[in-house]
Amino acid sequence: MIFFSFAEPRQDGNGTSVASARLVPDRNGGGKLENLKIIFRQMPSYDGRNHFGSRLAFGPEGELYVTVGERSSPEPRVQAQDIASGLGKTFRITRDGKPWPGNPFIGRKDAMPEIWSYGHRNLQAATIDGEGRLWTVEHGPRGGDELNRPEAGKNYGWPEVTYGIDYSGAPIGRGITSLQKTEQPVYYWDPVIAPSGMAYYDGNLIPEWKGAFLIGGLVAQGVVVVHMKDDKVLSEERISVGARVRDVKVGPDGAVYAVTESRGGPSTIVRLTRT
**What local confidence, expressed as pLDDT, does residue 157 receive?**
98
Binned at pLDDT 50, 70 and 90, residue 275 comes out as low
**What local confidence, expressed as pLDDT, does residue 19 receive?**
98
**What local confidence, expressed as pLDDT, does residue 240 receive?**
96
**What local confidence, expressed as pLDDT, does residue 265 receive?**
73
pLDDT 10s digits, 216-243: 999 999 999 999 999 999 999 999 999 9
Contact 192, 145 (CB under 8 A): yes
**What local confidence, expressed as pLDDT, does residue 261 receive?**
92
The pLDDT of 191-220, averaged and rounded, is 97
Q: Does domain 193-275 have CATH number 2.40.10?
A: yes
Binned at pLDDT 50, 70 and 90, residue 267 comes out as confident
**What local confidence, expressed as pLDDT, does residue 264 receive?**
73
pLDDT 10s digits, 124-162: 999 999 999 999 999 999 999 999 999 999 999 999 999
Contact 202, 211 (CB under 8 A): yes
CATH 2.40.10 intervals, the chain: 193-275
Binned at pLDDT 50, 70 and 90, residue 66 comes out as very high
The pLDDT of 13-34, averaged and rounded, is 95
pTM: 0.96
> What whole-number distance in Å separates Cα of residue 19 and Cα of residue 37?
5
* CB atoms inside a 10 Å sphere around CB 61: 8
Mean pLDDT of the chain: 96
> What whole-number distance in Å separates Cα of residue 11 and Cα of residue 82?
23
Going across the sheet that includes 122-128, the strands are: 122-128, 134-139, 145-148, 187-189
CATH 2.120.10.30 intervals, the chain: 2-189
Task: Pick the closest to residue 158 from 238, 77, 213, 84 (CA basis).
Answer: 77
Q: What's the one-letter identity of residue 112?
A: M
Say which of 51, 120, 139, 227 is annotated catalytic. Answer: 51
Q: May I ask the CATH architecture of the domain 2-189?
A: 6 Propeller (2.120)
Binned at pLDDT 50, 70 and 90, residue 274 comes out as confident
Active site includes 227? no
Percent of the chain at pLDDT exceeding 70? 100
